[in-house]
Chain A
């Protein structure tokens, strides 16, 4: 029977489509390069160590949220609560550290426990999201919108709406320490390590593979024996835990737990992820894309301040890039996919 005709021989993909497929992932990187080039031509002293430090620190406020959001969006969800979780975990961790400090605990121990507390609190809040979504069958949009409200409310209640600055001195030193010859702030290093690990897990492990499968076709994943409920809960746990880490890092940089920390961060993280090529319909997206999306936002935010241009332009520019990125992605898919 080896002479029998093969089932459906390869369609010859047009060269233009093949180039488009590859270029699609590079597209946003080109935008980032163009923005940096634009700033360096129009603004004196743009390509400096100062700018790098400012941009990279600004990026840490969004990057880990975007990494978590990438997992969520690939699994066909959305997490609107990350900004609220960031604020609440910062405040909760701050209160814990303040109390430990007054109880006479040493700075390093207090700070370490504060960090773990923020991580754990974020994981608990994320798990709550996941359970509401998978057990009560509430859509991710509504469940995490509710969590956003709950978290923001709790942040206000915890310290009576006041900023908390009564924190160990070592915390601010840790949050603003710059390593490796003054080039790498400690929070940036932490974010970078976590991001690399998250990328390896997403692209090289079974957990990542199943995250894509669930987002691409939840029904198929279920039929092939994947525990979709548990997996989705874990994805939201991850997103919450990363928001907790961010809450701690932001607090460390400011040396204070602010009641407004994280406001609007959920939309920034979604923007970064979508600019990076993730699809809100699930099944598509990469950590590299989220990094580039975050970098575009951070460079615009910081660059326009350095160029003394109103930050209103940053909002406008990011909005336009967002639409352009989604449009380009849809064109690419339309060309490549036959249905």
Chain B
């Protein structure tokens, strides 16, 4: 008997008019794992991520959080359920400093009733909590007063991920987190994902970069033309095998990782 998955989809289908973007997908995400989703362009990766993050609603099928069906009407619903998304464009306000970005939309306020009503910011508190949040995943940014626009791409990615894990306790959704970064910074982001895993948060990683997937993921889900081809345990996965599955050269009958082949 396997434990209840922290997040799961059952019979998930998404149609855009006549186009079927996602067809009858069953997938489990387990506590504290890194699940990579790979597939060619148009395979349905983004659609799946959009549904999990609440920005799109399924045409059919359901999403289960801790085994209970949920309906995400908006990204806020997903966030409330402990699921946070880091978008490709990071969604940072580059004119604001690190702490302001971490607490964007959730600013800490200071003092008793009257100053709370005025919305008086607790800058010291936010800075300290930011420091703690960054420490938790071993991100070192000495100058928290620095505008995010003055930080490097890797640092910005790190802040976006730190913000997401600060406000979620179940699942972190990452969309191409290593795209548009230098080699060294890509490695730093992979290390960061490993540290997020240590905190017990599950990560769903959408990536085109198979070497990164093989390095960091525990399991790999392969999508092709909207259908789930297979879910491989990382020990069964090689670049060649994944490429074959992505392009359709190999058809797989197994749909769950670890199942007998």
Contacts and interface: CB of A to CB of B under 8 A. Distances in A.
Answer yes or no: are A and B bound together in one complex.
Answer: yes
Interface of A: 1-2, 4-11, 13, 204-207, 209-210, 212-213, 215-217, 219-221, 223-226, 282-284, 336-339
B154 A7 contact: yes
A284 B147 CA distance: 11
A221 B150 contact: no
B100 A10 contact: no
B15 interface: no
Given A4-B194, A11-B151, A283-B94, 10 more contacts: A7-B140, A7-B188, A8-B185, A209-B121, A213-B93, A217-B94, A220-B104, A224-B106, A337-B94, A337-B147
Contacts of A8: 139-141, 151-152, 154-155, 158, 185, 188
Interface string B176-200: 0000000001001101101100100
A209 B152 contact: no
B169 interface: no
Contact of A7 (B75, B92, B139, B149): B139
A282 B94 CA distance: 11
A213 B100 contact: yes
B70 interface: no
A213 B104 contact: yes
A6 B136 CA distance: 12
B95 A283 contact: yes
A127 B87 CA distance: 33
A205 B121 contact: yes
A217 B100 CA distance: 13
Given A223-B87, A225-B76, A338-B150, A7 B94 contact: no
Residue among B91, B139, B143 having the largest count of chain A Cβ atoms under 10 Å? B91
Residue among A204, A206, A207, A336 having the largest count of chain B Cβ atoms under 10 Å? A206
15 contacts: A4-B138, A7-B139, A7-B158, A7-B188, A7-B192, A8-B151, A10-B140, A13-B150, A206-B107, A209-B96, A209-B107, A210-B107, A220-B92, A221-B104, A283-B94
A224 B198 CA distance: 26
B96 A212 contact: yes
Interface size class of B (residues with CB under 8 A): 35 or more
Contact of B140 (A9, A204, A219, A337): A9
A221 B188 CA distance: 27
Interface string B77-118: 001000000010101111110001000111101000000001
A337 to B, nearest CB: 5
A209 B92 CA distance: 14
B150 to A, nearest CB: 6
A68 B74 CA distance: 33
Contact of A204 (B106, B121, B154): B121
A7 to B, nearest CB: 4
Contacts of B42: none
Nearest to B104: A224
A242 B149 CA distance: 32
B191 A206 contact: no
Contacts of A205: 118-121
Contact of B150 (A213, A219, A225, A336): A336
Given A209-B100, A213-B104, A223-B75, A7 B191 contact: yes
For the complex of A and B, 6 pairs with smallest distance between CB atoms: A224-B105, A283-B95, A206-B119, A6-B140, A216-B93, A220-B91
Contact of A1 (B109, B188, B195): B195
B149 A226 contact: no
A219 B104 contact: no
B93 A5 contact: no
B142 interface: yes
A206 B137 CA distance: 27
Contacts of B139: 6-8
A224 B118 CA distance: 21
Nearest to B158: A7
Nearest to B156: A8
Interface string B2-19: 000000000000000000
A10 B89 CA distance: 22
Contacts of A213: 93, 96, 100, 104-105
B104 A4 contact: no
B95 A215 contact: yes
